[in-house]
Amino acid sequence: MPPILEVDNLRTWFHTAAGPAKAVDGVSFSIEAGQTLAVVGESGCGKTVTALSILQLIPRPPGEFVSGAIRFDGTDLLKLSRDELRQIRGGRIGMIFQEPGTSLNPVFTIGDQIAEAISLHRKIPKSALRQAVLDSLKAVRVNDPERRIDQYPHELSGGMKQRVMIAMALSCNPQLLIADEPTTAVDVTIQARILDLLRQMQAERGMAILLITHDLGVVAELADHVVVMYAGQVIERASVNELFANPRHPYTRGLFASLPRVDRKETRLQAIEGSVPAATHFPEGCRFRERCPHAGPECLRSPELTVLNAAHAVACWKHEELHVCAPAVGR
């Protein structure tokens, strides 16, 4: 089966006074229907710009799609007109963002806002609209939907707002849901409920999910496949089990080692020294080399993403040497 979404060598740059910021610089990945792909990385690695590029929510200028294709169900989204895109955005591709508080319009009831989303994409008589909104609220397990439908965003808790956002995103039965840090702004007990809801929704509807997150715990909970980004590039790609059992890139290993865990006590955290380089001044060659404990002369050239096996690819000159070292997790 062809993938539902295929991002191919995407380059999204921003023109700044300091030169081009190569926020996304040659990123490729694909998602199969019904699967969850997690894009992980730290602030500034380009994961959110990747998601916004798919929906073309990038202001141009200063943004520019320098190269690449984004094929959704066979059509290249970068070649569509504004109107064609608007049909897909919020319709066949739904989206939820980190801050449910700022994504909802404070002067309209949540019922009005979901109704707007539905009527833009589905031909529904006005008389049936309220029922359709109620159904979408019930689908995401909002309790007391008859009361909630007439409430304003400020009357809802953070968790409830995110639930409403999910209801809105799913109201048109999307084939792909893009979720950008969907639980970062909510407390852990609410996060558990949102993650559980996303999993149920996917099981019921068979949609694909592109999950953007920095939280490896959330990745382990939801993802089938994982793409690790660093400085605008994909540095490792693997199935979730493979990545957690056998991370091969020094950066991925560093991420795992630097996590304080609730389920065990560590003596000292292994920090990755230094910080992420600015997008206008990425180093030549491997962009991680200045922070990498294993860097050598070969790292002055850019490593390609090398396929190790069907489930795993890594962009590192030293991955074979590192394979012999003790793995970062499961100590």
Partner 1 sequence: MSAPLLSVVDLKKHFPIRAGLLGRVQEWVRAVDGVSFDLALGETLGLVGESGCGKTTVGRTLLRLTPATGGQVVFGGQDLLALSGRALRQARRRMQLIFQDPYGSLNPRMTIEQIVGEPLGVHRLARGSERQDRIATLLKQVGLRPEAAGRYPHEFSGGQRQRIGIARALALEPSFIVCDEPTSALDVSIRAQIVNLLQDLQRERGLSYLMISHDLGVVRHISTAVAVMYLGRIVEQAPTEALYDQPRHPYTRLLLAAIPIPDPRQRGRRIQAAANTAGDDAVPSPINLPPGCPFHPRCPLYQQLGRPESCRNQVPELVPLESNPRHVVRCHFPHETETVAAGPRVAATS
Contacts with partner 1, residue ranges (CB under 8 A): 42-43, 143, 157-160, 163, 187-193, 195-197, 199, 214-223, 240-241, 244, 254-256, 258-263, 265-266, 268-273, 275-276, 329
51/255 with CB nearer partner 1:
255
Residue 88 CB, nearest distance to partner 1 (Å)? Answer: 30
Residue 264 CB, nearest distance to partner 1 (Å)? Answer: 9
Q: In sequence order, what are the residues at sequence separation of 6 or more whose Cβ sits closer than 8 angstroms to the Cβ of residue 283? A: 277, 289, 290
269/307 with CB nearer partner 1:
269
Q: How many CA atoms lie within 13 A of 206 on its CB side?
A: 2
Residue 269 CB, nearest distance to partner 1 (Å)? Answer: 4
Angle 214-217-219 from CA coordinates, rounded to 5° = 65
192/307 with CB nearer partner 1:
192
Residue 267 CB, nearest distance to partner 1 (Å)? Answer: 9
Report the distance separating Cα 225 and Cα 227, nearest Å.
7
Q: What is the dihedral of CA 310, 316, 321, 324, to 10 degrees?
A: -50
175/252 with CB nearer partner 1:
252
Q: In sequence order, what are the residues at sequence separation of 6 or more whose Cβ sits closer than 8 angstroms to the Cβ of residue 266? A: 260
Residue 38 CB, nearest distance to partner 1 (Å)? Answer: 11
Q: In sequence order, what are the residues at sequence separation of 6 or more whose Cβ sits closer than 8 angstroms to the Cβ of residue 69? A: 6, 7, 8, 9, 10, 76, 78
Rg (alpha carbons) of the chain, rounded to whole number: 21
Residue 255 CB, nearest distance to partner 1 (Å)? Answer: 6
Residue 119 CB, nearest distance to partner 1 (Å)? Answer: 27
Residue 67 φ then ψ, to 5°: -160, 170
30/270 with CB nearer partner 1:
270
Q: How far is CA 185 from CA 98, 102, 148, 155, in A?
A: 6, 11, 21, 17
List helix spans (H) across the chain: 47-55, 82-88, 100-103, 110-121, 126-139, 145-148, 158-170, 188-205, 216-222, 240-245, 250-257, 319-324
User: What's the chain's length in residues?
Assistant: 331
Residue 128 CB, nearest distance to partner 1 (Å)? Answer: 28
